[in-house]
Amino acid sequence: MQPEPLPTFVPHLSQRFQSLVWSCLDSDLVKSAVFHAERYYAIDTRNHDARHLYATALLRAQQTYSALHLVSGPRDEQCTGCLEIKAKCCTTLGRYRQAREALDATLRDINYVSSKSSTSRAARDFPEDAAIRCRAGNAAVKGNQLQQARQHYEAALKSNPYLWEALEGLCAIGRIPDIDQLFPPKPVPVKRGPLQIDDTTTRNVPMATGAGFFTPDASGPVGRGGNLFGGWRPDAVQPQPFRLGAVEFPRDSIGGSDTSFLPDNSFQMRRTTRSQPSNVVLQTNIPRPLSSAEEAGPVQKKLRSTAGRQIDPKPKSSSKTAVDEPLKKARARPALSFANIFSSSHSQPAAPSRAPTTLTKNNAQPNVTHTATRRSNRLQSGSGAKQLHLSKHPPATRRRQATHGRNKSNEPDKDEEANPSGEVAESTSTPSALSPGSEASPPPPPTWTLQQEQQAQEEYEHELAEHYLYDLLRKFASAARRLALYDCKTCLRELEQLPVAHQRSTSVLIMVGKVHYELQDYASAERAFRSAREIEPYRLWDMEVYSTLLWHLQRNIELSYLAQELLNINPQSSQAWIAIGNLFSLQKDRSQALTCFKRASQLDPSCAYAFTLSGHETIDENLDRSINFFESALRVDARHYNAWYGLGTCYLRASKIRRAEYHFRKAMEIHPNNAVVLGCVAMTLERRKELNSALSYYNKAIEVSPENALVRYRRAKMMVSMRKYDEAIEDLEYLRRTTPEEANVIFQLAKVYRLIGDEVKSAQALAVARDIAPKSLNKMKRLLETVRDDGDDQMDEG
């Protein structure tokens, strides 16, 4: 099968995944890191960076064999990063010779470059608030403080929706809000076009007026600290991209609160220098397009010298003193930041930070002059002294000398006399800097340049990457919620909505196996688990469910092989000892099975499944001990419906019908789609002679699982007691076709035919029953004594 074509925004998505995984690892949220790393690796399994990151996350999660298997492919597919992680895994496993060989092979590579999993990165000194809340929720769950756990988990997801462990915690305690509440849907990104240049590009850069001033946008105030970009806000309609911009612009930083797809305090890292996007170059080089010929605006260096002569044609001592003071400060601080130039409340001329230093060198910037227009209107308004005070340039006499030194062909005084309106017109020192006739023409409307197109494409790909990640997480969360609520069929439909690459991943196949297991479709569940183990043969998580599945299927050899493999992978894992216990249980060695289950509970006291299996092993011998095991399981996990079902079975065998019904109903509240639990509730109602209510539960159980033979057989028996013979015959004939070797079904069918007076079919059924169970002569004698419609519904079930 051909792999899926990769989307164009994969580089941006890769960087986002790397940021998420490392942030989760730094915050000790290893399960979240493994989840995101697997999503990253599933997109492109040939990507070595994704492989290294996934292996590192598995290693940190103590899944050492899985991490080693991931980087131990064929030699031609390994890189130096794979060998480096292989050495770490071998060191953890105590295989020091193999670790040394891997490191030696790494050092022999002349093109060795350390993998991204071991390079330096920006890490926080302390975890963010969302990570702390998630860990607090984990602690509350283990302390059986479910209400506090729910509050912490919901607060963590509200602050950072990418914390997968918080969602898993909500699923574990069974108090899961609606997905639209946890993950509100986001609109699909739309690429910015040329018609949106006035709304976006002109607000992202300073505007140039005809007089050559950088003026803030009139739509909003100047931001904090005099930063022109501080008051910038994105449009509410158009989604903003996931930005990893330059540090100089705080509103574009990934920690800002203006990105529509990212919550506050989300796990992110700053982009390194080698991966800066193209839009950073556009923003850091703002003055260039504003001094081009299309803008018809003057450059500030020439403008300030002529403006100084126009304001003060007769120099005075007071004006000279007012100018010299800021000039000394300007020379003392030549490298003012770009934002500080706009810190004044007035719109003043601003030059690049290199302007004061270039005044001392002739011909440092040959194309720096423009023709000024409409300058006299602002100069005659009485703010000339302030203009000079903020211009940070020498007096007019000094400026005139510098100007003539750079360009002796220009005569500023003559230009002033030739301009009766008092405006300054000055030619440039480089003819290419300004096109002829641009002085008289108004500034043309902004055009869509190639750089702006590249910037729009970069932003669009960032938005697509963030939308893909958010939508993917939302689909996974919806499927996990459905599985936690045991809405199995809906969960399958949710999993089918995932991209094909993720449907083939290990975690998704495990979810599919669990869904079919809860639906009691054991064959489909086995196929899903087997496929998952082919991808990740050293997986320990969820293998206790797989071992129980093999127990139900009576697969002795497969279960034995699984138990040995898990024990070799990690003899200290509870999953391995549960698999061994299931193997002994299948071989009818209950004492050894109980020993293994006890060992599993000792290794992992939070494993409720080990206590539950111990209770099922002792239910036939000691009801009190079995009840203690089930209660221990519920103390660990109150939503373990199997323990509630076990308690109900114990009380039913003790003929405590009320208590049995209570516990069966508790199990039904947790898992409302389990046919066995529904049938047990119906059986308790039948014992209490509430036949109509019992029939409704039997009908619901068969509707949920039509293939469940036990529930259908119990309903057929109750139909016989209610003298509904036709319905009983229909169920029994169905069971006869599906389970032809079951003698009890044949005997019950023969009885019903005898009750309705059909002696021929009754005799035929008895003949079949005699062939299947020749030792059941007592049953046959009692059946022959049955009189037509005598109401006798007492029959030995055998």
Which CATH number do you get for residue 730?
1.25.40.10
pLDDT(82) > 50: yes
Running DSSP on this structure, what letter comes out for residue 236?
Answer: S
Query: 223 Cβ partners below 8 Å, 6+ apart?
Result: 229, 230, 231, 232, 251
**Could you give the percent of the chain with pLDDT greater than 90?**
43
Same structural domain for residues 707 and 767? no
For residues 692 and 718, give the distance between their C-alpha atoms in angstroms, rounded to a whole number: 10
| Per-residue confidence band for 784, with pLDDT thresholds at 50, 70 and 90 | low
Of 9-13, 696-700, 724-728, 784-788, the range with the lowest mean pLDDT is 784-788
For residues 292 and 279, give the distance between their C-alpha atoms in angstroms, rounded to a whole number: 19
Look up the domain containing 795 and give its range: 712-798
For residues 278 and 793, give the distance between their C-alpha atoms in angstroms, rounded to a whole number: 84
- If one compares 42 and 401, the residue with the highest pLDDT of the two is 42
- If one compares 244 and 641, the residue with the highest pLDDT of the two is 641
For residues 301 and 215, give the distance between their C-alpha atoms in angstroms, rounded to a whole number: 17
Tokens in use for 260?
């529509």
Tokens in use for 647?
């308690």
Tokens in use for 191?
């690429």
Question: Among residues 194, 392, 371, 368, which one has the least CA distance to residue 308?
Answer: 392
Same structural domain for residues 688 and 584? yes
Handedness of CA 735, 740, 742, 747 (dihedral sign): positive
pLDDT(2) > 80: no
pLDDT at 202: 42
Q: Per residue in 262-315, pLDDT tens?
A: 344 443 433 333 333 333 333 334 444 443 344 444 444 444 444 444 444 444
pLDDT at 451: 82
Which residue, 85, 108, 131, sits at the end of a domain?
108
Strands (DSSP E) contained in 93-244 are 207-208, 214-215
Task: Indicate whether 234 belongs to any domain.
Answer: no
Task: Indicate whether 67 belongs to any domain.
Answer: yes
Same structural domain for residues 692 and 789? no
pLDDT at 333: 42
pLDDT at 463: 87
Q: Bridge partners of 215?
A: 207
- If one compares 273 and 176, the residue with the highest pLDDT of the two is 176
Same structural domain for residues 745 and 682? no
- If one compares 207 and 43, the residue with the highest pLDDT of the two is 43
Same structural domain for residues 781 and 692? no
Which residue, 397, 413, 433, sits at the end of a domain?
433
Q: Are 720 and 748 in contact (CB under 8 A)?
A: yes
pLDDT (average), residues 398-418: 42
Query: 703 Cβ partners below 8 Å, 6+ apart?
Result: none
12-21, 94-103, 351-360, 422-431, range with greatest mean pLDDT: 94-103
pLDDT(203) > 70: no
Task: Indicate whether 452 belongs to any domain.
Answer: no
Give CA 393 to chain center in angstroms: 54
Task: Indicate whether 421 belongs to any domain.
Answer: yes
For residues 539 and 746, give the distance between their C-alpha atoms in angstroms, rounded to a whole number: 45
Which residue, 416, 433, 450, sits at the end of a domain?
433
Same structural domain for residues 321 and 400? yes
pLDDT (average), residues 349-369: 40
Strands (DSSP E) contained in 487-543 are none
In this prediction the pTM is: 0.67
What is the number of domains present in the chain? 4
Same structural domain for residues 717 and 707? no
Q: Per residue in 463-484, pLDDT tens?
A: 888 889 999 999 999 999 999 9
pLDDT at 114: 64
Task: Indicate whether 698 belongs to any domain.
Answer: yes
Average pLDDT, the chain: 73
pLDDT(387) > 70: no
For residues 729 and 726, give the distance between their C-alpha atoms in angstroms, rounded to a whole number: 5
Q: Bridge partners of 238?
A: none
Question: What percent of the chain is helix, strand and coil (3-state, nearest 5)?
Answer: 60, 0, 40
For residues 607 and 595, give the distance between their C-alpha atoms in angstroms, rounded to a whole number: 15
Of 146-150, 417-421, 695-699, the range with the lowest mean pLDDT is 417-421
| Per-residue confidence band for 116, with pLDDT thresholds at 50, 70 and 90 | low
Structural Rg of the chain based on CA atoms: 39
> For 1-79, where are the alpha helices, taking DSSP H only?
10-26, 30-43, 48-60, 64-70
Question: Among residues 257, 256, 260, which one has the least CA distance to residue 241?
Answer: 260
pLDDT(527) > 90: yes
Query: 32 Cβ partners below 8 Å, 6+ apart?
Result: 24, 134, 162, 163, 164, 165
Task: Indicate whether 541 belongs to any domain.
Answer: yes
Same structural domain for residues 644 and 793? no
Q: Are 283 and 246 in contact (CB under 8 A)?
A: yes
Task: Indicate whether 702 belongs to any domain.
Answer: yes
pLDDT(430) > 80: no
Same structural domain for residues 558 and 629? yes
Task: Indicate whether 50 belongs to any domain.
Answer: yes
- If one compares 396 and 112, the residue with the highest pLDDT of the two is 112
Same structural domain for residues 698 and 744? no
pLDDT at 143: 85
Identify the H or E element spanning 230.
none
Same structural domain for residues 735 and 611? no
Q: Per residue in 723-769, pLDDT tens?
A: 899 999 999 999 988 888 888 888 888 888 888 888 888 888 888 88
Same structural domain for residues 399 and 547? no
Cα 795 to Cα 178, 782, 792: the distances in Å are: 49, 8, 8
